[in-house]
């Protein structure tokens, strides 16, 4: 079952621009997490936001969570070519016993 | 170095053969997970284990088997009963509870 749905599916921007990616989900959550995957590699955890938090920052990353709309956004500011990757949101649903459910991902291309 | 390793990186199998994928972690994590990723898709959970000698089926367990005899190791066997085994397999671990997961580099399995 796919809990998180990312939007858009693909995003292409110029280096230096900001990238905004969205994630919607269906059920109550304990937390929502964002991961990054470079082509052919494993996933790397970026940031976790708990259900009682509304916004969180980590370096050039800003994540927001709106539990009333069951949605989250990931903003990457001042993007770099090295940010080119796929980005996934994952939800830790309430009562899911620490299992994560991943969306299909967003492919971000940052043009130099 | 602390981390999670998977081997081999690439694996080729003939139809009708069972094959075992290795996953080892030295992070002292209680929980371990196996995911399958198909092209352009998100991750789907195959099996997970929250503690040694215990594991549960994920969303797509049919045709797969696992064991968790040691805390550090969580091997996945892809059996001949798995109808479409060609995919990228990712192993992950976490301290347990609602936290982030740490991923290995993945094994790409191709059935010839």
Q: What is the pLDDT of residues A65-80, one digit of tens each?
A: 999 999 999 999 999 9
Inter-chain residue contact A98 with B94, CB threshold 8 Å = yes
- Using CB atoms, pick whichever of A45, A88, A99 lies closest to residue B45: A99
Inter-chain residue contact B106 with A40, CB threshold 8 Å = yes
When pLDDT is cut at 50, 70 and 90, the band that residue A51 belongs to is very high
**A44 shares contact with chain B (CB less than 8 Å):** yes
Inter-chain residue contact A98 with B31, CB threshold 8 Å = yes
**B100 shares contact with chain A (CB less than 8 Å):** yes
φ, ψ of residue B104 in degrees (nearest 5): -80, 180
When pLDDT is cut at 50, 70 and 90, the band that residue A3 belongs to is low
**B97 shares contact with chain A (CB less than 8 Å):** yes
Report whether the peptide linkage leading into residue B3 is cis, meaning its omega lies within 30 degrees of zero: no
Question: What is the mean pLDDT of the segment spanning B23-38?
Answer: 96
**B30 shares contact with chain A (CB less than 8 Å):** no
Among A21-25, A58-62, A94-98, whose mean pLDDT is lowest?
A94-98
A10-14/B43-51 β-pairing: unpaired
Query: Cα(A72)–Cα(A57) distance, rounded to whole angstroms?
Result: 13
Q: What is the mean pLDDT of chain B?
A: 93
Question: What is the mean pLDDT of the segment spanning A21-27?
Answer: 94
When pLDDT is cut at 50, 70 and 90, the band that residue A1 belongs to is very low
Residues B30, B1, A80, A46, Cα dihedral to 10°: 10
Q: What is the pLDDT of residues B76-103, one digit of tens each?
A: 999 998 989 999 999 999 997 768 999 9
Q: Tell me what pLDDT residue B99 has.
A: 82
**B48 shares contact with chain A (CB less than 8 Å):** yes
C-alpha neighbours within 13 Å on the C-beta side of residue A31:
17
Q: Which residue has the higher pLDDT, B102 or A7?
A: B102
């Amino acid at each position: 079952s796919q809990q998180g749905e990312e939007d858009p599916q693909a995003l292409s921007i110029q280096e230096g621009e900001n990238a905004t990616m969205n994630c919607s989900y269906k059920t109550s959550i304990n937390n929502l997490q964002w991961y990054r995957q470079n082509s052919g590699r494993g996933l790397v955890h970026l940031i976790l936001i708990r259900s009682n938090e509304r916004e969180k920052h980590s370096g050039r990353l800003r994540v927001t969570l709106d539990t009333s709309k069951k949605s989250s956004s990931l903003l990457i500011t001042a993007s770099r070519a090295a940010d080119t990757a796929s980005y996934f949101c994952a939800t830790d649903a309430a009562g899911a016993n620490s299992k994560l459910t991943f969306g299909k991902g967003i492919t971000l291309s940052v043009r130099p | 170095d602390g981390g999670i390793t998977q081997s081999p990186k690439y694996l080729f199998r003939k139809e009708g053969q069972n094959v075992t994928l290795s996953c080892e972690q030295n992070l002292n994590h209680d929980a371990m997970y196996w995911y399958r990723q198909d092209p352009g898709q998100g991750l789907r959970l195959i099996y997970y284990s929250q503690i040694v000698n215990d594991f549960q089926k994920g969303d797509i367990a049919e045709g797969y088997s696992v064991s968790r005899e040691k805390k550090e190791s969580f091997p996945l066997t892809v059996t001949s009963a798995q109808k479409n085994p060609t995919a990228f397999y990712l192993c992950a671990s976490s301290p347990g509870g609602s936290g982030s997961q740490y991923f290995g580099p993945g094994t790409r399995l191709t059935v010839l």
